[in-house]
A and B are shown apart, each in its own frame.
Chain A
Amino acid sequence: MRRRKTDYLWIGVFVVLVAFAIPWFLWGNAATWSGLPVWLWWHIGWMVLASVAFALFARGAWDRGMNVDPEEVGFDG
């Protein structure tokens, strides 16, 4: 049961990462901060966040969807 829950959690994380890669709520917004549009700052932050999320996924849940054991794949880092 716990395994199931974690799976859904990761699917949810990926869905959110995809859905807000473009900040729809800033549509038509032209505000700038430090010389760049606010929506561009969102993009910068979002890419860093995605990178962190992917690193955590790779560390903790990588083989979840593949039906393999870490030992089977050889080195597991």
Chain B
Amino acid sequence: MAESELLVQLGVVGAYLVVALAVGVLAYRVTGRDAEDYYLASRSIGTGVLLFTTFATLLSAFTFFGGPNLAYAAGPEWILVMGLMDGILFAILWYVIGYRQWLIGRYERYVTLGEMLGDRFGSKRLRALVAGVSLFWLFPYVMLQQMGAGEAIVGLSDGAVPYWVGAAAITLFMIVYVVLAGLRGVAWTDTIQGVFMLGIVWIAVGWVLSAAGGLDAVSASLAASNPEFLSLGGGVYSPQWMIAQAVTIAFGVAMFPQINQRFFVARDVRVLKRSFALWPVLVLLLFVPAFLLGTWAAGLGVAVPEGANVVPVVLNAYTPGWFAALVVAGAMAAMMSSSDSMLLSGSSYLTRDLYRPFVNPDADAARETWIARLGVAAFAIGTFVVSLFRPGTLITVGDTAFGGYAQLALPVIVALYWPRTTRQGMFAGIVGSQVFYVAHVFVPAATIGGVTVLGSAYFTWDFALYGMALSLFLTVGGSLLTAADADERAERFAVGTRAD
């Protein structure tokens, strides 16, 4: 690649980072020094910003890389999984978990999920368990984002910039940014990033289509080269697989720290309602074009080198270098908007649920803020170092985290709605399902007496679904078998006064 072109591309990415940093500094100037303002922007977020910050946070390198790669290799049916998962199931959970958490959090001023559950069940250990489980799954996921960013820069520069330099630069940038900006800045840049990604992906689709001769021509060449892509199902896409992916990821997303914490930040109920209704449309607008790009690349006979991502390759083939650079900047925006929120939430779990209750209960506000920022840096550096060893592929690592969070969702829903839930029931549900899930991820499958255990599925259904069922069974069963302790406070979750 010509030297000058490389400079143009790095210039685009650099300019983008400068804009993000400027917003961060602006947010820093209006952010107060207390934890509620740093982590939750004092619960003052409006519709547009909440919608886009949640949306951009939800998007990862997967939207631009892993997802289109999957569509390129196996067909575009993932769009339907996305629709069921994010468009419908997550929207319903937005109401069932999100609105309830918002109502409770508003009265009790909770900042994290662990804090809310720990207070309700009168248990510091439960609080630490929820935070510990969340951080355990957050770590590989942040690593996934860094790997995506590193690969994006390798692809953009045709290998001139090595992987570790790209990932290190992004990590450093994010640390500075999150330490400065807090949630308000993160939410503002998320909004810019979300709008940017949405715009850029549609321009990319338009450009590729017009360069390749229009939708009908692209469709015809796809029908000639990969007719199986047009037909619903086939290949990896079985009904069981699609349902399992949609269900585990949707429930998992609701328990991801950076998404779950968003449930606390809405300014008023109108914000929650509008976001809820606009959700499916936003899903439609982003994922259909992103995944179609990958699908069309197959029909257009674009050759993707081993280990490369399809979207940059197809854009380099059909659009000028600077535009491909813009899209890679969009992918990095996706990756950063997820990671900065994850770092911020991860740090809040670390400091509020682990450090303060166990290490230093008397920490004053100034010290807590300092520790929070230190936590951000430690977390980001740790994931960066591990990402250099590249354990597993993007999709595998990501799916493992989503399934792990999905195990938390049903115990939390039970706790939110059923006053009879007990502390012992919560411990049983959370610990039992996590042990079950982790064993299936890490212990190799074995056949005992003709039955395969610890495999990826039972009766063709993903093991994560059985883990969720187990979490529900153990939480409800454990609660029925035990009595609530005197210091459990069911009334904390009893929102509302309306007699029914």
Contact = CB atoms under 8 A, between A and B. Distances in A.
Interface residues of B, number: 52
A45 B240 CA distance: 23
Contacts of B230: 30, 32, 37
A28 B237 CA distance: 11
B495 A50 contact: no
A9 interface: no
Given A29-B231, A68-B496, A50 B80 contact: no
Contacts of A28: 231-234
Interface in A29-63: 29-30, 32, 34-37, 39-40, 43-44, 46-48, 50-51, 54-55, 58-59, 62-63
B270 interface: yes
Contacts of B500: 67
A77 B498 contact: no
Given A48-B284, A67-B496, A55 B103 contact: no
Given A29-B231, A35-B218, A22 B84 contact: yes
B231 A54 contact: no
Contacts of A76: 269-270
B123 interface: no
B242 interface: yes
- Label chain B's interface by main secondary structure: helix
Interface residues of A, number: 43
Contacts of B96: 65
Contact of B80 (A18, A43, A63, A77): A43
B276 interface: yes
B278 A51 contact: yes
Interface string B458-500: 0000000000000000000000000000000000000111101
Contact of A29 (B91, B232, B281): B232
A68 B280 contact: no
A22 B80 contact: yes
B386 interface: no
Nearest to A52: B277
A30 B231 contact: yes
A48 B218 contact: no
B133 interface: no
B274 to A, nearest CB: 7
B80 A58 contact: no
Interface in B69-108: 76, 79-81, 83-84, 87-89, 91-92, 95-96, 99-100, 103
Contact of A27 (B214, B233, B277, B280): B233
A66 B76 CA distance: 38
A72 B88 contact: no
B162 interface: no
A56 B27 CA distance: 35
B498 A30 contact: no
B227 interface: yes
A28 B269 CA distance: 43
Contacts of A12: none
Interface in B228-250: 228, 230-234, 239, 242-243, 246
A74 B278 CA distance: 22
Contacts of A37: 76, 230-232
Interface in B211-264: 214-216, 218-219, 223, 227-228, 230-234, 239, 242-243, 246
Contacts of B497: 67-69, 72
Given A26-B232, A27-B233, A68-B497, A39 B80 contact: yes
Nearest to B102: A73
Contacts of B234: 28
A18 B157 CA distance: 43
18 contacts: A21-B246, A22-B81, A24-B239, A27-B233, A28-B232, A35-B218, A36-B215, A44-B284, A44-B288, A46-B83, A47-B284, A58-B273, A58-B274, A59-B273, A62-B269, A68-B497, A72-B497, A75-B270
Interface of A: 14, 17-18, 21-24, 26-30, 32, 34-37, 39-40, 43-44, 46-48, 50-51, 54-55, 58-59, 62-63, 65-69, 72-77
